[in-house]
Amino acid sequence: MTRVAVLVSGGGTNLQALVDAEKSGVLRSGKISLVISSRAAACAVKRAEENGIPVKILSQKNYTTLNHSADPVEYDRAMLEALNENGIKLVVLAGFLSLIGKEVLAAFPERIINVHPSLLPSFGGRGFYGLKVHEAALERGVRVSGATVHYVDESIDGGKIIFQKAVDVKEGDTPETLQRRIMEEAEWILLPAAVEMICKKIAVEEKET
C-alpha cells in the first residue's frame, strides 16, 4: 500500500474527496497516511482528525531567518523530514498555498501532484488560486472551464498534465456556483483517479526493485 500525504491550507474538500475514495474503494492502492497543513485553524485539519489521519502543522511563520522573514530552505527541510518520517511515497497538494521547495521536489520526482480548478494553462500561475480562478474565468467570458491534475515542478501550475476535465460555464454563474460545479464534476473525480493510478504505479515499481 502506497503511503500518501495530502497538503492543505483551507477547507479540505479535496482531502475529503480522497478520504471518501479510500472508503469506497476507488482509492485502493494508496493510503492517506499524513495531512500537512500550513494553517492550524484550517478546516481540513478537523476533517483529518475526524478520520483518524495524523496531522502535522507546518506554518512558514515558524521558520524564519534572523531578520524574521520567511526561510524557505528551513521550511522545505522541515517538510521533507515530516514526509520521510512517515514513509510517504506520494505527495498530493489539495489547496496548499505554500510553494514546494527544491529539496522536496528533488526527493519526490514525479511523485508530487496538484489539482487546479481550471483547464491549464488557462487561469494558472501566480495569483490564481481559490475563487480568484473562477472570478477570472467569468470576467473573461469563457464558455467552458474545468479542472487539471498535474505533476508539480519548480514552475507554478506548469508541470506535466496528468488529467483534465471540462465543465460548462452556465448563464448566471457566480464564482461560487462555478467553483462548486467544477469541484463536483471534475476535481473530486480526477484527483482520486490520479492518486490511484500513481499509487498503483509506485507499488509495481517497488515490487520490481
pLDDT, tens digit, 9 for 90 and up, residues 87-115: 999 999 999 988 899 999 999 999 999 99
150 tagged catalytic:
no
Q: Exactly one of 68, 116, 134, 150 is catalytic; name it.
A: 116
The model's pTM: 0.95
Domain map (residue ranges) of the chain: 2-208
The CATH number of the domain covering residues in 2-208: 3.40.50.170
Q: Is the pLDDT of residue 200 over 90?
A: yes
Look up residue 1 and give its DSSP letter. Answer: -
C-beta neighbour count of 81 within 10 angstroms: 13
CA distances from 191 to 18, 60, 64, 92, 207 (A): 8, 26, 33, 9, 24
What does the pLDDT read at residue 69? 65
What residue has cell string 483529518? Answer: 48
Q: Which residues contact 25 (CB under 8 A, 6 or more apart)?
A: none
pLDDT tens readout for residues 32-49: 999 999 999 999 999 999
Cβ contact 154:138 at 8 Å: no
pLDDT tens readout for residues 115-146: 999 999 999 999 999 999 999 999 999 999 99
Residue type, 15: L
DSSP string, 36-51: EES-TT-HHHHHHHHT
